[in-house]
Structure formats: structure tokens, C-alpha cells
């Protein structure tokens, strides 16, 4: 994307709803909200032609705060709702948002298949490496030695899930990592993701000030990848694996066929019924 | 039913064909059904298969006559065995009498005890030798000729069905099939049936269709244009029929990664304004329950066509049972008013599915349509199915009409206009969290109470009209039934009436919300009430009792699948109980 999403003619404010977020003060999710509204404003999309779908979690509250059509479903199924919506209404711009638990644990299977189905959707995971809404349990992206949850007093003891690597292995065609400490960069990534034809995945590092206060340190250590986006999956894999998970930017982008339903009417019901007549 | 008097149907004939995998049992059955259709008659062809993917034994059961046939008979008139391999597995499904005729080839061995003990007459014919006498000859085609002659089907009708059915296989295959059928016809027969099929001079217009296809047609008639689903026996054929045909109508089918996805995908499609459906069976329905609650709460209309099989768990995937009534009625957590309908027979799969779509769209809620394997995977020759009541369709919000409240409470019928993405000036977020009128999440007692009331009001206010049930006959005896047991119940009532015991049947199509007053009226004067259903626990019986709709003296006939409920069994229960 060229240009500056901040200086757009349609204001981001118009994309903000009146509803006051439930998030804790300092939550990274505020900045995802602002990045999403900036991106939509920059693209000057008619509000009624955009839908934002989510699951359940603190992060999944996002749709009500954005002035577009929203669907706040059940835990883990946002991608499924969004895929159905996009298949039925290819004319809409469909965004999907949620947490790391929502997307990688309970909804993990949908993540794999959304990546490989490559429908034209933009998926933003607000990754705080914890289950915020249920008050601080380990998520798939929590490190194995994080022992602050009463549910896993010795730490989860399981290597954490690498979302970018999984997305790549599953066939996603747009893989990026953003950071809520850099909302303008995140907004740019979202613009690029919406413009990308196919499934775009953005892992937005979004600190949980309540259950992961140590993530306040992220603003000191998060930095951009030191290489430009690649279309080579092997190079992308190396970059993802060599990284500590805190480098940001567009990592991988390629073009693959986009799944979309055929669109041609060739019969009326009466003709189909005739097939059964004796 | 056809125009003939449904209370005095003329006799029918029933044929079972069994054989090991690859012997062409199902092909023969389908061709026989086509032949009775071409002869102007009606027929019902069920099939039974083992679990093997290829090479398993199978059986087809066909009943034919001059009126629409909605259940199998108590006994078969003919059993023709292409071989006896594994036939024991079907023995229970093929009841015979001493009047029945077993046709078999001594080359395949003697009649197994499981079959022989019923004392049927046996006619030995050299089926295999006749097939071998024809180049590329097949024993199933010889059998078809034998059956057609025994039933009294015209030879030319049978041969021209071969031309149609085997068109793509080429002249060689058709020619050898003709020779086989002719040899089956011409083979001298020492025994005959007591009656032959009637001849019809001017046949009425009819369809040859499976229950799954009928459900598919019903869905499309109702307006379904988006389907997402995960394959499962015995619902898959509905999806296989829908996929190409939806496409022709400008719709789409998305194969989901699992049923959690499929239910949520159709919620997405319907939120987008496109009437949406999924098809599944018990295990899939279990996985969908959370999503269905979401559809109820967010007031997103969706239809689930659940083709029942033996349960619980993976159960008996290939065989029929009516045991998903409980999950369909009560499977949700929370208070979740929704629609449950049951198709009464193959033809009714079209009507009931269409009606379910229309009701779901109008009431903006979930409709679960129950059919079962004995309907879905069976084929029938039927009168063209009627259209369902059109209803009012989905009430849509208009653009820019001021402050938009998606879940507004003021409509008396509880149905608030739904805004479809793309509509200007009606932005809102649909929510599965309890919400206020605007859709904003709320945990306030008042909002919960009011929204629960609203969602219930939609169903309480529904006037189903006469379609809620099929009611036939009169008298103090009354059978209440649902789903695929209905055909057997109607037939049992006819026979009971002829025995001097006038019997009425109430076959319930709209199971929830049940029009209690209408059922109460339909029951007026009935003193001997029997509920009939094909499940172990008596799910309908307990449901009606819980609603206090049954007299205390009501009895139940509840028996699990996979054996179909047969008319004789109902008559016997009625006579024993009362
Ligand atoms: C089926 C189901 N299981 C469990 C829950 C409880 N639950 C609600 S949110 C949540 C996890 C939220 O974590 P995440 O998705 O990472 O989002 P965050 O709150 O951190 O933004 C869980 C387990 C639920 N709502 N539904």
C-alpha cells in the first residue's frame, strides 16, 4: 500500500460505533479497533458493504465497536460464519477477528481449512498469548513455562503454536504480523490484507495488561522483519522459523486460485423437477 | 395418494432381491421400479446394505401396486436370491409366509435355514446357467426377467427400461441384458403367484424419486440457495443432488471441514440474506447444537435436514431409526424455541422440507426437518408433490428508515425486521450473547426476559393451518404417529376398519411448536390411543404425555430400528392392547 491511511478523506471516526468497549484500560485491542477503522476509512468502503465477523473472547467483541455489519457468533467459529457469508455474498468485504484461543485452539480446524480454501477474507487474530475473557488461562500461543494460571500451575508444558508457520503450511496466501504498539503499521497491513485477493492472515500482537502485564515490554523488543515480503514459501518458512515471534511486517504473499462459488444461472426449478417425471 | 379410494386400496405385490456385492441387486431393483412406473403403477423400493464399501451383500425390497405406497408390507410375495452368501444378515428383514415364493438356483446351494423355516414355497430355476448361456450375461438380468413375468409386467416394458437404464453402456451390454431378461421370461415356471399386477390404461403423471432427492427439491422450492455440509450416511445423496442443481439455480454448496463449520457457515450465509440449509444425520446434528442455539438467539433462519439412522453414537449408519426426536426437540442448552418437522413419507420429504424453509424464513429461527434412512435412501413412484404454504417470507428492514433496532420488541408477533448487509442505514451486530433491542450484549434480567419472550412469541403465534398433521379415518381407536411410521399406521388403520374396528390416524408433521389445540380437537372422542414410532424409548409418547395431551390410558408401540414398523405389527398391538 502506498499513501497514508491516517490522512484519508473518510474519517476513521465514522467507522467507530457509539458502544463503549468492555476492554481493560491499556488493552492492545483498542489499537486493533483503531487500526481497523483507519484501514476501512482509507479504503473508503461503504459501511453497509462491509461485514466483520467474530467468535467469543475479549477480542471477539470488536464487531460491535465498528460501524459496519457485524456478527458476534460462538467461540471458535468465526471463520466458518465468515466463509459462509462470503460464499453466499461474494459482493461483501468480509473481515474476521478474534483471539488466539478462539482461532488456534477451539477453532483450530477452521483456521487450517480457511487457509487452504483461500476465500477472499481478512482474518485478524488479536494474539495476547492468553485466554483473557475466562480470566487468564494458557492458550496455544502461551509459552510452555508460563506458570501464572491456576489451571496449569507448572506452566502448560507444551511448545507453543506458531501461527505464521501453520498458516504457511496450510496454504495461506497472505501472512503478516503486526503489533498494536504500532497502530499505523497495523492499519497498513490491514489495508493490504483487504486488497489481497484471497485469504489474508494477520497475527496482531496485542498485549493483555491484566493477565500478561509482562507483555508491556513488547514495545521495547518488537521490531520489523529485516527483509521484505517474499513469495517463496521456503524462504518464508525459514524466516518464520528463525524468528522469535516478535518481528513484524508482511512476511509472505502469493497468488493462488481463490475459492468462490460459480455464478451462472442455467435452469429453473421446473426443469429440475422434470428430471423426476416418468 | 392417487385418486383411487385410499380406504380400499387394491392388493399390492412385494419382491425382495438379495445377493452378494457386485451381483447387481440394486441395479435390478432400480430397473424393476422403473418398469412398474412405466407400466403406470406405483412402487416403493427400499434397500438394505451391510457396512462394506464395496462387495458387501445387499438387498432391495420393492412393493408395487396401483396406488402410492408408503410402507413395506408385512410379508414378501417373492424372494429371489441371486446367491445365498450372507443372506442370514437379511433374514429378519424379509418376512415370508407359506404363500410366498422363493426363487433360487440350486447351483448356489440349498435354502438357508434362516429363510427356509418360514415354510415358503421354493421354485428352483437355473439362473446362473441361463446367464452363462448369454455372452456377457448377468444373473441379475435373468432374475429381472423372472420377476417381471411372475408379476405380470409386460415384456416390452421391461426391455425398454433396459434401453433407458443402460443407454450409456452401449449396444453390446443392452443386447445381452435383453437376452437375459427374455430367458428369464421364457423359462418355464412350476409355480406362480396367486395374483398379478393390474394393468393401467391411462396412468396419472408421476415421479420416480428418492426421499433425499425429494428433500432437495423441497429445499429449492422453499428458496434455499446456499448449502454447507459435511458428508454423512444416509444424508449424503441429498447433498450430491443439491450440489449441481443449486449451481444451476445460481446458488452454491460449500463442503465444510466438519459439522461445526457447516452449521456456522449456513448461519453466515443466512445472515447475508440467502436462505441456507445443511443436511446431516445424528452424529452431525449433535455437533451442530451450539451453532443452532446461536441461530435461535441471533434470530438467523437456518434449516437442518437430519436424515436419521440408528443411534446413539455412530450406531447403525446404514439403517433407519426414528430416534432423533429428543435431540431435535430438547438438544439445545438454554430456552431455545425453534421448529421441528417430520416428513411422513418419501413424497412428503418435498412438502415438509419446503414448508420448513418457509417457516424458518418467516419466523427467523431454526427449523430441524427429520426424515430417515428408509425415506432418504429409498425410491418411490409418487404423485407429483404439492407445494407447501408460501407464508410471508423473511421480513426485511428497509434502508434509511431511522434508528434501526434489530431485535425490537414492539412487533406483536415477535418478528422484527432483519437488515441484510448491503442495506444502508441499518448497521447492526447480530449477537449470540443475550442482547437488548439494538443487539448490544446485555446481562440485565429485563433484557433477557423480554428477548426470551420475543423469541417464544414468534412460535406461539404461529398458525400452522391444516398442514400440521395428516389426519385420516375416524373412530374411537386412534393411532398417533410421526415420520416414516405413518405409512404403516395408515395402512393398519385401513385394515382395522375392514376388521370392524374404525381407527383414525394422526400423523404429526409439525412436531414443534405442536399445535396443541388442534391435536386436542383431532383426539376428540378417541378412547383407545396408541402412539407408534420406531425408537427404543418412546420419544413421541413421552413428549405428548409431558404436554398432557394423551389420555392416561394411552399405550405406546415403540420399537428401535432397523426393522421397519409394519402394518401387521401395529394391528397386532392394537388388538392386544385394547
Ligand atoms: C464452547 C465454549 N467453550 C468455552 C467457552 C469459554 N470461553 C470464552 S472466551 C474463551 C477464551 C478466550 O480466549 P481468546 O480467544 O484468546 O480471546 P481473548 O479473550 O484473550 O481475547 C473461552 C475458553 C465458550 N464461550 N464456549
Is residue B389 assigned to a domain? no
CA distance B529 to B535: 18
Which residues in chain A touch residue B431, judged by CB atoms under 8 angstroms apart?
64, 72
pLDDT at B538: 98
Q: What is the pLDDT of residue B11?
A: 87
Answer with the one of B462, B484, B504 that is the final residue of a domain.
B462
Helix (H) or strand (E) holding B506: strand B503-508
Chain A closest CA to B383's CA: distance in Å? 10
User: Do B162 and B35 reside in the same domain of the chain?
Assistant: yes
Query: From atom 22 of ligand 1, which residue's Cα is the shortest distance away?
Result: A134
Among B416, B398, B440, B221, which residue's Cα sits nearest to residue B300? B416
Same domain, B106 and B249: no
Of all residues in chain A, the one with the smallest CA distance to B266 is: A84
pLDDT tens-digit profile of B241-293? 999 999 999 999 999 999 999 999 999 999 999 999 999 999 999 999 999 99
Report, as an integer, the average pLDDT of B225-243: 98
Q: Which of A71, A261, A264 sits opposite B271 (nearest CB)?
A: A71
Query: Does B6 fall in a domain?
Result: no
The reply to whether B456 and B518 lie within a common domain is no
Q: Which of B268, B405, B424 to mutate to test the interface with A (most CBs of A within 10 A)?
A: B268
Residue B200 forms part of a structural domain: no
DSSP 8-state code for residue B416: P
Contacts of A183 (CB under 8 A, 6+ apart): A31, A34, A35, A38
Q: What's the rounded mean pLDDT across residues B492-505? A: 96
CA distances from B452 to B30, B321, B365, B445, B545 (A): 50, 33, 13, 11, 25
Residue B129, judged by CB atoms within 10 A of its CB (0-12, 13-18, 19+), counts as middle
Query: What does the alpha-carbon distance between residue A255 and residue B454 come to, in Å, rounded to a whole number?
Result: 48
Instruction: Output the CA A59–ligand 1 centroid distance in Å.
Output: 10
Q: Go through the domains of chain A in sequence order and give each one's CATH number.
A: 19-275 (3.40.50.970)
Q: CA of A14, closest CA in chain B: separation in Å?
A: 12
Residue among A36, A84, A270 with most chain B CBs within 10 A, to mutate? A84
Q: Flag whether pLDDT at B364 surpasses 80.
A: yes
**Which of B68, B287, B421, B431 to mutate to probe the A interface, most A CBs <10 Å?**
B421
* Residue A25 Cα, gap to closest chain B Cα (Å): 20
Name the residue in chain A with its Cα closest to that of B262.
A80
Residue by residue, DSSP assigns A61-100 as GHHHHBSSEEEE-STT-HHHHHHHHHHH-TTSEEEEEEEH
Question: What integer pLDDT is reported at residue B6 of this predicted model?
Answer: 56
Ligand 1, atom nearest to A60 Cα:
21
End-to-end CA distance of chain A: give it in Å, rounded: 60
Instruction: Indicate whether B2 pLDDT > 70.
Output: no
Pairs across A and B, CB distance < 8 A: 184
If asked whether residues B144 and B232 sit together in one domain, one would say: no
The ligand 1 atom nearest the CA atom of A55 = 15
The mean of the pLDDT values for chain B is 95
- Asked if residue B7 is part of any domain, the answer here is no
Q: Is residue B540 part of a domain?
A: yes
Residues B409 and B549 in one domain: no
**CB neighbour burial string for B441-469, b if at least 16 within 10 angstroms, e if fewer:** bbeeeebeebbbebbebbbeebebeebbb
Please tell me the predicted confidence (pLDDT) of residue A9: 60
Residue B195 lies in a domain: no
CATH code for the domain in which residue B127 is found: 3.40.920.10
CA A57 – ligand 1 centroid, Å = 5
Cβ-nearest to B290 among A71, A74, A112: A74
Query: Taking Cα atoms as reference points, which of B340, B327, B356 lies closest to residue B535?
Result: B327
**Do B157 and B101 have their domain in common?**
yes
Ligand 1 centroid–CA B478 distance in Å is: 51
Q: How far apart are CA A95 and CA A195, in angstroms?
A: 12
Chain B hits for A46, CB-CB cut-off 8 Å, are 424
**B369 & B443 share domain:** no
Question: Quick one: closest CA in B to A84, which residue?
Answer: B265
Q: For residues B338 and B367, is the Cβ–Cβ distance under 8 A? A: yes
Does residue B349 contact residue B375 with C-beta atoms inside 8 Å?
yes
The pLDDT of residue A80: 98
Q: Which residues of B touch A265 (CB under 8 A)?
A: 248-250
Residue A104 DSSP symbol: I
Burial of residue B62 (CB within 10 Å: 0-12, 13-18, 19+) is buried
What span, in angstroms and rounded, lies between the C-alpha atoms of A50 and A72? 14
Neighbours of B428 (CB within 10 A): 26
Among B382, B411, B445, identify where a domain stops. Answer: B382
Confidence of residue B22 (pLDDT cuts 50, 70, 90): confident
Look at B265 and A47 and tell me if their CB atoms are within 8 Å: no
Distance from CA of A58 to the nearest CA of B (A): 13
- pLDDT bin (cut points 50, 70, 90) of residue B5 is low
Is B387 part of a structural domain of the chain? no
Cβ distance of A269 and B266 shorter than 8 Å:
no
> At residue B53, does pLDDT exceed 80?
no
Q: What is the pLDDT of residue A5?
A: 52
CB contact under 8 A, B440 and A92: no
Beta-carbon separation of A84 and B267 below 8 A: yes
- Domain boundary at B444, B462, B480, which? B462
Q: What is the CA radius of gyration of chain B?
A: 25
Percent of residues, chain B, with pLDDT higher than 70 = 98
Q: Give me the domain span that covers residue B281.
A: 208-382
* Positions of chain A with pLDDT lower than 50, given as ranges: 1-3, 6-8
Touching check for A49 and chain B: CB below 8 Å?
yes
d(CA B457, CA B437): 15
Q: Which residues line ligand 1 (CB under 6 A)?
A: A 56-59, 75, 98-102, 126, 128, 130-134, 139
CATH number at residue B362: 3.40.50.970
A99 C-alpha to ligand 1 centroid (Å): 8
- Average pLDDT value for residue range B63-68: 96
Residues B149 and B78 grouped into a single domain? yes
Query: b/e per residue, B336-370, with b = 16+ CB within 10 A?
Result: bbbbbbbbbbbbbbbbbbbbbbbbbbbbbbbbbbb
Q: Tell me the three state secondary structure of residue B321.
A: coil
pLDDT digits (tens, 9 = 90+) for B368-426: 999 999 999 999 999 999 999 999 999 999 999 999 999 999 999 999 999 999 999 99
> Which of B37, B256, B423 lies nearest to residue A278, judging by beta carbons?
B37
Nearest to B220 among A49, A91, A269 (CB): A269
Asked if B258 and B307 sit in the same domain, the reply is yes
Ligand 1: which atom is nearest the Cα of residue A102? Answer: 15
Please provide residue B195's backbone torsions phi and psi, each rounded to the nearest 5 degrees.
-140, 165
Over residues B78-92, the mean pLDDT reads 90
- B171-186 and B155-165 helices, crossing angle to 10°: 160
Do B361 and B245 share a structural domain? yes
Q: What is the DSSP letter of B530?
A: E
Let me know: does B473 contact B507? Beta carbons within 8 Å.
Answer: no
Distance CA(A37)–CA(A151), nearest Å, equals 36
Chain B: closest CA distance from residue A116 (Å): 11
| SS3 category, B87 | helix
Q: Does A156 touch chain B (CB under 8 A)?
A: no
B257 and B341 housed in the same domain: yes
Report how far ligand 1's centroid is from the alpha carbon of A60 (Å): 9
- Domain membership of residue B313 (yes or no) is yes
Distances (CA, A) of B321 to B501, B536, B558, B564: 29, 9, 11, 8
d(CA A276, CA B307): 21
pTM given for the model? 0.96
> Is A270 an interface residue toward B (CB < 8 Å)?
no
ipTM of the complex in this document:
0.97
Least Cα separation, residue A216 to chain B (angstroms): 29
Does residue B8 carry a pLDDT above 70?
no
Mark whether B24 and B98 lie in a shared domain: yes
| pLDDT classification of B1: cutoffs 50, 70, 90 | very low
Beta carbons of A267 and B423 less than 8 Å apart = no
Interface with B, mutate which of A23, A80, A112, A199 (most B CBs under 10 A): A80
Q: Which residues pair with B275 in a beta bridge?
A: none
Measured CA angle at B132 (ends B126, B134), to 5 deg: 115
How far is B75 from chain A, CA to nearest CA, in Å?
28
User: Cα of A131 to ligand 1 centre, how many Å?
Assistant: 6
Q: Which of B206, B209, B261 sits opposite A80 (nearest CB)?
A: B261
Contact B205 A278 (CB under 8 A): yes
Report how many domains make up chain B. Answer: 4
Amino acid at each position: 500500500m502506498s499513501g497514508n491511511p491516517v490522512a484519508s478523506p473518510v474519517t476513521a471516526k465514522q467507522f467507530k460505533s457509539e458502544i463503549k468497549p468492555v476492554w481493560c484500560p491499556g488493552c492492545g485491542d483498542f489499537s486493533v479497533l483503531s487500526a481497523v477503522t483507519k484501514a476501512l476509512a482509507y479504503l473508503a468502503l461503504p459501511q453497509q458493504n462491509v461485514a466483520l465477523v467474530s467468535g467469543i473472547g475479549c477480542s471477539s467483541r470488536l464487531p460491535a465497536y465498528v460501524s459496519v455489519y457485524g456478527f458476534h457468533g460462538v467461540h471458535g467459529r468465526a471463520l466458518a460464519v465468515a466463509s459462509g457469508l462470503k460464499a453466499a455474498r461474494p459482493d461483501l468485504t468480509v473481515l474476521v477477528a478474534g483471539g488466539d484461543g478462539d482461532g488456534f485452539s477451539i477453532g483450530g480446524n477452521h483456521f487450517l481449512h480457511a487457509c487452504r480454501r483461500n476465500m477472499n477474507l481478512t482474518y485478524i487474530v488479536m494474539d495476547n498469548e492468553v485466554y483473557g475473557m475466562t480470566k487468564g488461562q494458557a492458550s496455544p500461543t502461551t509459552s510452555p513455562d508460563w506458570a501464572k494460571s491456576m489451571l496449569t500451575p507448572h506452566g502448560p508444558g507444551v511448545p507453543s503454536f506458531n501461527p505464521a508457520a501453520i498458516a504457511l503450511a496450510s496454504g495461506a496466501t497472505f501472512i503478516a504480523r503486526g503489533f498494536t504498539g504500532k497502530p499505523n503499521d497495523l492499519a497498513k497491513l490491514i489495508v493490504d490484507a483487504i486488497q489481497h485477493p484471497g485469504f489474508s492472515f494477520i497475527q496482531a500482537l496485542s498485549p493483555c495488561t491484566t493477565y500478561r502485564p509482562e507483555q508491556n515490554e513488547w514495545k521495547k523488543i518488537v521490531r520489523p522483519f529485516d527483509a521484505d515480503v517474499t513469495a517463496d514459501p521456503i524462504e518464508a518458512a525459514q524466516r518464520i522459523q528463525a524468528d522469535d515471534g516478535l518481528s513484524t511486517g508482511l512476511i509472505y504473499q502469493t497468488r493462488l486460485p481463490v475459492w468462490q462459488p460459480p455464478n451462472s444461472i442455467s435452469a429453473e426449478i421446473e426443469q429440475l423437477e422434470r428430471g423426476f417425471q416418468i | 395418494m392417487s385418486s383411487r379410494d385410499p380406504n380400499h386400496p387394491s392388493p399390492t405385490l412385494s419382491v425382495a432381491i438379495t445377493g452378494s456385492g457386485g451381483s447387481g441387486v440394486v441395479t435390478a431393483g432400480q430397473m424393476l421400479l422403473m418398469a412398474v412406473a412405466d407400466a403406470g403403477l406405483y412402487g416403493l423400493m427400499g434397500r438394505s446394505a451391510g457396512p462394506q464399501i464395496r462387495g458387501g451383500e445387499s438387498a432391495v425390497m420393492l412393493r408395487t401396486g396401483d396406488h402410492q405406497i408408503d410402507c413395506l408390507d408385512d410379508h414378501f410375495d417373492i424372494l429371489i436370491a441371486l446367491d445365498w452368501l450372507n443372506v442370514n444378515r437379511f433374514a429378519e428383514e424379509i418376512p415370508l409366509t407359506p404363500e410366498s415364493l422363493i426363487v433360487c438356483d440350486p447351483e448356489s446351494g440349498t435354502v438357508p435355514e434362516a429363510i427356509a423355516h418360514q415354510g415358503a414355497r421354493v421354485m428352483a430355476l437355473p439362473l446362473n446357467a441361463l446367464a452363462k448361456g448369454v455372452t456377457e450375461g448377468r444373473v441379475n438380468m435373468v432374475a429381472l426377467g423372472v420377476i417381471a413375468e411372475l408379476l405380470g409386467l409386460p415384456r416390452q416394458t421391461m426391455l425398454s427400461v433396459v434401453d433407458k437404464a443402460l443407454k450409456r453402456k452401449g449396444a453390446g451390454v443392452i443386447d445381452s441384458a435383453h437376452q437375459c431378461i427374455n430367458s428369464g421370461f421364457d423359462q418355464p415356471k412350476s409355480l406362480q403367484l396367486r395374483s398379478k399386477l393390474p394393468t393401467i390404461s391411462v396412468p396419472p403423471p408421476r415421479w420416480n424419486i428418492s426421499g433425499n432427492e425429494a428433500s432437495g427439491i423441497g429445499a429449492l422450492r422453499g428458496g434455499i440457495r446456499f448449502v454447507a455440509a459435511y458428508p454423512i450416511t444416509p444424508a449424503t445423496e441429498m447433498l450430491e443432488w443439491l450440489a449441481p442443481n443449486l449451481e444451476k439455480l445460481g446458488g452454491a454448496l460449500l463442503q465444510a471441514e466438519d459439522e461445526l463449520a457447516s452449521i456456522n457457515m449456513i448461519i453466515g450465509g443466512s445472515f447475508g440474506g440467502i436462505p441456507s440449509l445443511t443436511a446431516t444425520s445424528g452424529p452431525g446434528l449433535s455437533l451442530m447444537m451450539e451453532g443452532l442455539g446461536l441461530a435461535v438467539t441471533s434470530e438467523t433462519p437456518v434449516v437442518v435436514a437430519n436424515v436419521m439412522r440408528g443411534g446413539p453414537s455412530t450406531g447403525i449408519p446404514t439403517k433407519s431409526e426414528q430416534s432423533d426426536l429428543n435431540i431435535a426437540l430438547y438438544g439445545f442448552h438454554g430456552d431455545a424455541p425453534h421448529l421441528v418437522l417430520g416428513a411422513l413419507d418419501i413424497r412428503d420429504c418435498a412438502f415438509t422440507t419446503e414448508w420448513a424453509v418457509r417457516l424458518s424464513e418467516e419466523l427467523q429461527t431454526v427449523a430441524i426437518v427429520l426424515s430417515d434412512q428408509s425415506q432418504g435412501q429409498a425410491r418411490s413412484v409418487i404423485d407429483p408433490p404439492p407445494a407447501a404454504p408460501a407464508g410471508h417470507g423473511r421480513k426485511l428492514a428497509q434502508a434509511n428508515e431511522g434508528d434501526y433496532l434489530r431485535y425490537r420488541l414492539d412487533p406483536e408477533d415477535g418478528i422484527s425486521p432483519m437488515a441484510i448487509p448491503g442495506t444502508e442505514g441499518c448497521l447492526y451486530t447480530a449477537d449470540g450473547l443475550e442482547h437488548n433491542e439494538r443487539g448490544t450484549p446485555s446481562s440485565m434480567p429485563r433484557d433477557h426476559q423480554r428477548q426470551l419472550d420475543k423469541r417464544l412469541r414468534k412460535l406461539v403465534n404461529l398458525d400452522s393451518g391444516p398442514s400440521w398433521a395428516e389426519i385420516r379415518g375416524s373412530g374411537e381407536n386412534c393411532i398417533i404417529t410421526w415420520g416414516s411410521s405413518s405409512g404403516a399406521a395408515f395402512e393398519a388403520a385401513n385394515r382395522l376398519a375392514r376388521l370392524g374396528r374404525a381407527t383414525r390416524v394422526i400423523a404429526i408433521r409439525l412436531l414443534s411448536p405442536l399445535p396443541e389445540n388442534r391435536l386436542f380437537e383431532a383426539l376428540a372422542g378417541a378412547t383407545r390411543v396408541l402412539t407408534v414410532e420406531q425408537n427404543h424409548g418412546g420419544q413421541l409418547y413421552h413428549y405428548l404425555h409431558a404436554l398432557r395431551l394423551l389420555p392416561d390410558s394411552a399405550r405406546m408401540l415403540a420399537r428401535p430400528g432397523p426393522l421397519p414398523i409394519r402394518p401387521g405389527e401395529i394391528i397386532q398391538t392394537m388388538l392386544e392392547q385394547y
